[in-house]
Amino acid sequence: MKVINIKKFGGPEMLEISARERPEPSADQILIKVAAAGINRPDIVQRKGHYPPPPGASDIPGLECAGVIVEIGQNVMNWKVGDKVCALLTGGGYAEYALAHQGCVLPVPNGYSLEQAAALPETYFTVWSNLFDRAKLKAGETVLIHGGTSGIGTTAIQMAKISGATVITTSGTDEKCDICKSIGADHAINYKTQDFCQETIKLTDGKGADVILDMVAGDYVAKNISALNEDGRTVIIAVQGGIKADINVLPIMTKRLTVTGSTLRPRDNDFKSAIAKSLKENIWPLLETGKIAPIIDKIFPLEQAAEAHRYLESGDHTGKIILKV
């Protein structure tokens, strides 16, 4: 099969087309003939050599895909050959065939193309797990979502809004702020021209946000603590601003704050299967009725994976970038 291989760690030019043997599913796995694969920032971090695959995972990049099942393992119960599915992967999505654990697979929503379905797993699993399971976001609360026009951001805005939360988000241009508001954000802050902490406090009548979804870390951690309401929760899911932070712990104590975080890829299949079940029950009906939808910026052919990575790293995109196989 044709795959995208990382020649050696480095820039986008390190991605190359190569050939590998088609994988065989184990007892609990399905084999998907991939039609499309989503591109995510962890793929870039892996390409640079800072995010190795978990033990047993494919070294081919790609954490999500959509396609048609062509083979199933002997213990697979709820899927059959010919089913159209999308799947959360531990790796291997940038290829003509990919393996997925049966519990990490979801049906393609009614009315969705395989390219649209490929934009779902990584972001929807991540947002559900962190915004609702970990941060316990509830209707009536206020959430601050950083990186509003990213794949995670556009997903989180829609899911938070439809859950009954007031949504504040940050983006780097006025145009991107307008995009955030067009998909459900109540307020959008241009972090290059405004202090997001001060603006969040002002927009919440001095209280602060109840939940913050942070993919920046670094010096944002201290600012997030200042921007939180009493009993607030901030969840760190990426570290684009760096892995270290200098913080004052006193507000954590006096406001009874929770500062937490998570990574999804290393978690076990039981954990991911539970998220898949929640998504199918709570989110898939919303996708099928059009109340929420993934936003896809561009679709590149598999052979242009390097160009797709360059585009993601440019920061010019809104929503997801997809590889078509």
- Looking at residue 292, its pLDDT comes to 97
- 76 and 143, same structural domain? no
Domain boundary (261, 281, 301) is at 261
31 near 72, Cβ under 8 Å?
A: yes
Q: Are 79 and 91 members of one domain?
A: yes
| Residue 219 CB neighbour total at 10 angstroms | 14
3-state secondary structure of 138: coil
> Which residue has tokens 């983006």?
171
**pLDDT value for 47:** 98
DSSP 57: S
Q: Are residues 91 and 24 in the same domain?
A: yes
pLDDT of residue 211: 98
pLDDT of residue 108: 98
In this structure, what CATH number is given to the domain that contains residue 183? 3.40.50.720
| pLDDT the model gives residue 85 | 98
Q: Are strands 84-88 and 64-72 parallel, antiparallel or unpaired?
A: antiparallel
25 and 97 together in one domain? yes
What was the pLDDT predicted at 160? 98
pLDDT, residue 277, reads: 98
pLDDT of residue 63: 98
CA distance 15 to 139: 43
Same-domain status, 44 and 140: no
The pLDDT assigned to 13 comes to 98
Q: For 123-138, what is each residue's pLDDT tens digit? A: 999 999 999 999 999 9
The token duo for 320 is 């997801």
Q: What's the confidence (pLDDT) of residue 248? A: 95
State the total domains in the chain. 2
DSSP state, residue 218:
T
**Claim to verify: residue 140 and residue 255 sit in the same structural domain:** yes
Residue 156 domain boundaries: 124-261
pLDDT < 70 regions, the chain: none
Instruction: Answer yes or no: are the C-beta atoms of 233 and 210 closer than 8 Å.
Output: yes
Same domain, 133 and 244: yes
Residue 183 sits in the same domain as residue 249: yes
